Structure 1
Amino acid sequence: MNKTFLFDALREATDEEMKRDKSVFVLGEDVGHYGGSYKVTKDLHIKYGDLRVLDTPIAENSFLGMAIGASITGLRPIVEGMNMSFLLLAFNQISNNAGMLRYTSGGNFTIPLVIRGPGGVGKQLGAEHSQRLEAYFQAIPGLKIVACSTPYNAKGLLKSAIRDNNPVIFFEHVLLYNLQDSIPSEEYFIPLDQAEVVREGKDVTIVTYSRMRHHVMQAVDALLEDKYNPEVIDLISLKPIDIETIVSSLKKTHKLIIVEECMKTGGIAAEIIAQVNDEYFDLLDSPIIRLSSQDIPTPYNGSLEKATVIQPQQIVEAVKNILS
């Protein structure tokens, strides 16, 4: 086991897959000589050359379209969005091309494409750099969506995503790149469609993902002191949602809290609530609690920004309320 930063875990996964398969290449803004805005591709251009670690112009719709065309011809592109917010400029390519071409071609084309990069609410990045695009992409047929939360799952998920024959949106949180943890030295993979039971418990099920996993675990530390015993699930897969793991937990706890950094309206929590209410309503002993970000553009002001995002104390209070 080696102590590794999350950005280095992503770099290791990319390096290993590029070494293994010459059809894998990286493209995006400043991914080559600069090494990526968060150094996920640092020095890879030295090892693999400028055509496999390709610096693009500032033109998201163009290089996303190019990547989709490359995937149709048999290559396996990894597109880095310098900030995932910028990929809204390529929404047409992602939805009408990446998501649909396998279907509209009658299965003649596969789209082995990974679109990855930093997103989420950072520290005073302003509204346009603080987007959570999972709500935007959730409704697009044909996509897989994952969100890494630790160095361990970041590496295993990215290797699986690169080998998958479908377009995968791979969310990294801008504030987690310097998270450090032990990861195995031997090769490993993590499924793209399975949630992780982070902590087993019996009082209440808390479902979360990405950076909020760490806010939840801070809250759990406080709750354990007061003899509460929550179960914590990291979704990891945002599309498809691993509803079976959530339901298995609800059969024990019968209470559900969902914690997300996504906006409340049309967010990931909204989809989970709909699925649980449609098929598993009888498992619930109380209404589902949804802890989501405020439905406003993220303020630049640090105090206001913090107030828009769920904090550990709010999670503690929600658990105490649902169990009272």
Structure 2
Amino acid sequence: MGDVTGTGSAGSLKEAVGRYGIWSVGLRSEDPARRGELTESAAELEQLGFGALWLGGSSGVRHAVPLIEATSRIVVATGIQSIWQYEAAETAAHFADLEKTHPGRFLLGLGVSHAKLTERYHRPYAAMVGYLDALDAAGVPAGRRVLAALGPKMLELSRDRAAGSHPYLVTPEHTARARGILGDAPLLAPETKVVLDTDPDSARGKARDSLATYLALPNYTKALGQFGFTEDDFAGGGSDRLVDALFAWGDDDRVRARLESFHAAGADHVALQLVDGGPRDALPRAAWRRLAELLR
């Protein structure tokens, strides 16, 4: 499996990340006491055959370093680094340092976050353009970054100024629209959530617990509204229809079919976030093993 090297051709990047990766807040922990658990988890995920680790929780470049040091092949990406939290010059400097020691192993995922989460939120599209300009000037290759893009303008920016897009909380229908905007070459790597539970009430309950935070963020509800979801779907923690559209749950065949629907819609890679009702920053290693077996 090839590395993401140089400016990174679309083909080499797609080959490097493969069809599936793991998206996790827990893998970005800064607690020194958890470092051994983090690095062991990263090494095991590489052995299980996943192509990329996506570090949630507005991770920075530094969060990728211990995971890259503990592995030999897997791509480690920020999923997603907020442009308001990390200055472009700082990001470029950390990128350059990591590239010297571990060339081709890191993918910079960038996003504009949400107005409710940062006081600095202002003219997000223009701010992203300015951030990319600064990264260009500092020598961070466009082929080594992806953008969290939901709407058409940001998807076009992902196509023109990055290697592609890593959309979060989307459906296969969004993936199909995104592919149409991106064209064939750029990487399209949506995140989706997986609940390994066959009981409808239990599975949807876990899903709603996870979904509540996102339904309070207009960027997501606006994007979902473009695909026929209404305020009724967003009420009460999310309708069954919304939950079933955003979460892969059920038996192995149902989960596989749901994940495959993203590929059928045009995804190159799908970043899988395990949802099991436990702490969001946990490392569900047994469930990751089961997921890897399910995908074989």
- Structure 1-normalised TM-score? 0.28
User: Relative CO higher for 1 or 2, CA cutoff 8 Å, sep ≥ 6?
Assistant: 2
The structure with the greater share of residues assigned to strand is: 1
Richer in helix (by share): 2
Larger radius of gyration: 1
